[in-house]
A and B are shown apart, each in its own frame.
Chain A
Amino acid sequence: MKIDNKTLEGMAHLSRLNLDQKDVEELKKDMSEILDWVEKLDEVDTEGVAPLTTMSHEINAVREDKTKPHLSHEKALKNAPKKDSDYFRVPKVLD
């Protein structure tokens, strides 16, 4: 799979990353090489194989439906880059 500029820009946007123009060529090369390499899995016959979607050995994990305190308000806000007394603050979303 060859990664072109358009695909790379698309992936960067979906990943919420800005591309640095000086990295573009190297990224395209590395990502194309890595995808070519992982395409080796195309050799494997996976007809009728169910995808393995969980590695846990537990079937169900149930508990009483009771709320318990976990993180206090104060602790949850402790690492916020910007906050007021009750909320995380972000740049204005709507004008």
Chain B
Amino acid sequence: MKHYTSLAEIHRDMDAGKINCVDLVKGYLNNIAQNKDLNAYVEVYEAEALDKAVVVDEKIKNNTAGKLAGMVVGLKDVLCHDAHGLQCGSKILNGFESQFNGTAVERLLAEDAIVIGRQNCDEFAMGSSNENSSFGPVQNAADPTRVPGGSSGGSAVGVQANTCLVSLGTDTGGSVRQPASFCGVLGLKPTYSRISRHGLAAYASSFDTIGIFSKSVEDNALMLEVIAGADVYDSTVSKKPVPTYTTQIDPHKKYKIAYIKEALDSDGLQPEVKDTMTDLIERLKNDGHEVEEVGFPMLRYALETYYILTFAEASSNLSRYDGVRFGHRSEKSVDLESMYKASRSEGFGKEVQKRIMLGTFVLSASYYDAYYTRAQKVRRLIRDELKALLSNHDFLVLPTAPTTAFKIGALTKNPLEMYLADLFTVPASVAGTPAISVPYGKDKGGMPIGVQAIANDFEESKLLSFSKYLMN
């Protein structure tokens, strides 16, 4: 099968009678089989996707097909899909089946998207390398000895390896943007609350955002248009009308763009990533954009703030996994407390257990103010500073990650170094603003580099237009 990079291209070939949904699904299933070693999928819905393809082909023939007819989608293993498995990459949910569709999934299906499988990720979305999954690590398709990034590693590789056209991941501190950067695909984290979180297994609820991986800007815009917006099942979701993002993509606008010199001078920034940013800034100036160096002093506190708050929220959210109503229950239970403890200790992986205990610590009576409340205050200062910056500029541009994809196993012994992989993605998560990672060249070893643009709340259209310009 041809390597398709957009739904428009597929539609053109469909109109010309060159391909139909059944051929398309067969093509992707074949690519999944050939890339099995990458471990991007934890389950592939072969028969079901083929059946659905027949139905969608019929609808296309009758002119009754939805907006996403011909769109073959992968779902990160944290999104509820009715009567399908859901495990969040964890043993604690072995055998769990969703009893309903999450809102985003429901909206995709209603527009005739075909779900091809469920994709591997770090356990409960906690990780930056996709090495913390009970299904084993995912490999980067550009170099299988390297990580795909995390936590939505399987979803990034799914698109990278041409096993689906788009995938839905989730981004809590960079879990869509960082793997998009490592795998050379487009990765959007919309504004917090733009997309309903109903049916997204919670990690850190004040950060969790569904995000979209795609090869083309147009597909990303279309997916967002379909899944965003008000939802009775999520009281925090934004009720702002959803723009028709697909009609607003304009790569010719001129912008006022900020960059942070101290970020480009930071330790641990790979020289090729720095060079890419320097080249980008030159290009922006040459193309007539107004580019300005700015200060963002609070940036240096974003990572610490992010980790304190997400530890806390994770410890609270993951208390639901107690072996009572769903998930793993230990055989060793003699009473209620031993059942909780044994079930959770057997079911959760080490990184998750560590974060739960750290969260319990920062929320404990003696330390609550010193850690948790302080981090919430600093969060406000970070958001205020970033939003002030974005009230004077259209975008802040930053690298997506300090380095390109590292070797599998390279950072697993050093948790703090692993946390630094999120350095440039957490500011938008802490502030709740939208951000996108755009593939932008490769390093000497051929590994993809991503550049990131952050915009003000609900300015996804602007981000998509800018991405279109960057990718031209």
* Beta-carbon nearest neighbor of B235 in chain A: A61
Q: Across the interface, do A71 and B100 meet the contact criterion of CB distance under 8 Å?
A: yes
Question: 0/1 per residue, A1-22, Cβ < 8 Å to B?
Answer: 0010001100110111110100
- A63 near B335 (CB under 8 angstroms)? no
Cα-based distance from A90 to B307 in the complex (angstroms): 34
CB pair A55–B238 under 8 Å, yes or no, is no
Q: How far is the CA of A63 from the CA of B232 in the complex (A)?
A: 8
Determine the distance from Cα of A33 to Cα of B432 in the docked complex, in whole angstroms: 27
Q: Please, which residues of chain A bring their CB within 8 A of the CB of B329?
A: 81-82
Taking CB atoms and an 8 Å cut-off, the chain B residues in 191-240 that contact chain A are: 192-193, 206-207, 232, 235-240
The docked-state distance in angstroms from the alpha carbon of A3 to that of B236 is: 36
**CB <8 Å contact, B361 and A90:** no
Whether the Cβ atoms of B361 and A31 lie closer than 8 Å is yes
* B interface: dominant SS: helix
* Interchain CB contact under 8 A, B350 and A78: no
The docked-state distance in angstroms from the alpha carbon of A12 to that of B206 is 24
Given contacts A40-B304, A81-B327, contact A18 B345 (CB under 8 A): yes
Against B, the Cβ 8 Å flags (1 = close, 0 = not) of A70-95 are 01000110111110000010111100
Partner of B383, one of A33, A52, A63, A88: A52
Q: Looking at the complex, which one of A35, A46, A63 makes contact with B358 (CB distance below 8 Å)?
A: A35
Q: What CA separation (Å) do A93 and B354 show in the bound complex? A: 28
Q: Which residues of B contact A31 (CB under 8 A)?
A: 354, 357-358, 361
Q: Kindly report which residue of chain A lies nearest to residue B308, judged by CB atoms.
A: A38
Whole-angstrom distance from the CB of B430 to the nearest CB of chain A?
9
Q: Cβ of A23 and Cβ of B350 under 8 Å apart?
A: yes
| Chain B window 308-333, contacts with chain A (Cβ cutoff 8 Å), 1 for yes, 0 for no | 10000001000100111111110001
Known: A18-B341, A57-B240, A76-B99. 16 other contacts (CB 8 A): A7-B361, A8-B357, A16-B319, A17-B341, A34-B419, A38-B304, A41-B308, A43-B301, A44-B377, A46-B374, A46-B378, A52-B383, A55-B193, A55-B432, A58-B193, A75-B99
